Structure 1
Amino acid sequence: MSKTGTAKDAFVISSIAAGILFGAPSLVEAGESSGHEEFKASFETQQIRYGHTGPFVSNVQEKLKTLTLYLASVDGNYGKQTENAVKQFQRLHHLKVDGIVGKQTQAKLTSFPLSTTVLKLGDKTEAVKTYQEQLSQLNYYQGQLDGIFGPQTLQAIKEYQQKNNLEATGELTITTQMHLKSNRNKKGKTLSSVKAKNTQTLEHQSSAITFAKTLVGTGYRWGGTTPAGFDCSGFINYVYKNSGLLVPRTVNEIWNFGIKVNKAGIGDLVFFQTYKPGPSHVGIYLGNGRFIHTSSSKGVSIGEMSNPYWNSRYLGAKRLPKG
């Protein structure tokens, strides 16, 4: 066979292979392999790009649709919408942004699971802990790595989304998860901004305590939320509303809203179990073992944590998120 003949034959073979991969879905789909296996198999020798058609293009579209980057119909046609979705994926993962599903883009696409769950406030999973760790490394999250999606985690995610031009929902959307997993920027927020936020929080707590002390002597009233009479949670609600922070109405809701701390600090909320199981009484910690609260016998007053009644019923402390 001549050199010319060899080159010609190679071109014909290559054309047939490309036709099978991109232009003849029926030949590929005749096999027994799953869609994911077909997707991986197509990546062994081929690039998928604008103008291609076939089942492997559909697989790329399905993958990008799962990741909420491709919003059009899965039709197996590599058009502009598919190309733009691929480019967005490449930007998120610091890949060459050319809109071509080549070797590196292929490898990154296949590394993601076929389904991803949006994580949101109230979730308690190991996945949440993983993202807390990442946000902590980037200096967005300052709380405990406990896998609990609470207000502090939500705030950290919002700040991350805002800084990285993502939709600031406060939820760990699939796009946000992808962005966090591929983020190479370990600097995050500057130390000065963290200190500024902590200073702002301390000022907020000081303001709440100062105002709370002016209410000492106010009488008790079941369901009361004004100086005409408070119950314990109504008092907390009123005090922090005056300081610009809205908190839930009931003790249990406030307990779930707050961020757990190992040791109460000035301005933290302290919780007790009194007339029923679980948190049923709350006050504001003043430091030096004292807290301000509303009791049914004394109204708004200052109590001692060491008092046998309160000491035996103490459940723990929570910190209210700022803003």
Structure 2
Amino acid sequence: MIKSKPTRDAIVVTSVAAGFFLATPLVSEASEMELVPSKYSSPEPIQNQILRYGHTGYSVRVLQTELSKLSHYFGTIDGVYGPKTQEAVRNFQRSAHLKIDGVAGPNTLSKLSDTTKQLKPKTLTMGDRGPEVEALQLKLSKLSYYNGKVDGIFGKITKSAVEAYQKRNKLETNGVANDQTLQHLVQNKNVKGLTITTTKVKHNRNFSVDTGVISLAKNLIGTPYRWGGTKPGGFDCSGFLKYVFGLKGVNIPRTVSEIWNYGKSVDKLSVGDLVFYQTYKRGPSHAGIYLGNGKFIHTSSSKGVTISNMSNSYWKARYLGAKRIVQHK
């Protein structure tokens, strides 16, 4: 983890925290994106990737953090694979008796992970900063315990989320992400969350959608993309949908796959229906609101809240179907 004051000492985290962080899908700009994901941006554990000079993004930040724990990297954790990161990789490869090429491939990343897991244990607590905290926030958000900004800063909101998780799962409730809490999070496969509540609406073929969501959605055009974002400061694709429908008093699930299962399938599109796409993984992983005339509004990782044409070659090839969130008779 990165403390508020920089240090040249080895940065140490618990082996559980390291394993938890490295096992978290690293999506960054690849999540719910408008462009075709490349092999470097797919949401997979860092050990399965190949990172090299010139790459940028979340996975590079993870790499820099892991190298800093072993005192190989002393630069800023900025997600830019530049000269300092390349040299740090070479230094690690030299110390680990690996091929010294400055490229963080599977062998290098796997060895790096194994090495950092052997470091002296330490927990995540108030005041800590860095990708490990960001991964903690993402996991808690996925389980519907954390609703704040995913910023890698362990503040009061993160502490409250940890406490809520600990209390619900009968763990020591102290707001500190210790070995016990992190291990429990690693093993928790309940992607639907334990505290999420949704209001079920009785479906009927005579029910219709409230097209008032369209004007609310359009008012948010230009809002930037933010992974895990659920507020006007930044949205991811499902966070945008949940926020807009929430303004109409309709509480829908948090993730795209859950919304897909929650909505009513429709054969003929109507304004206000949700359109779903398969992008970075199998199954529904992106969604937006149908505006009519073959257009839909959604959150793109490259443009933020924007309007796109369903006839666009990218979206047309990935269209899965439409669902309706029934709001009134």
TM-score (norm 1): 0.38
Q: Report which of the two structures shows the higher radius of gyration computed on alpha carbons.
A: 1
**TM-score of the two chains, using structure 2 as the length reference:** 0.38
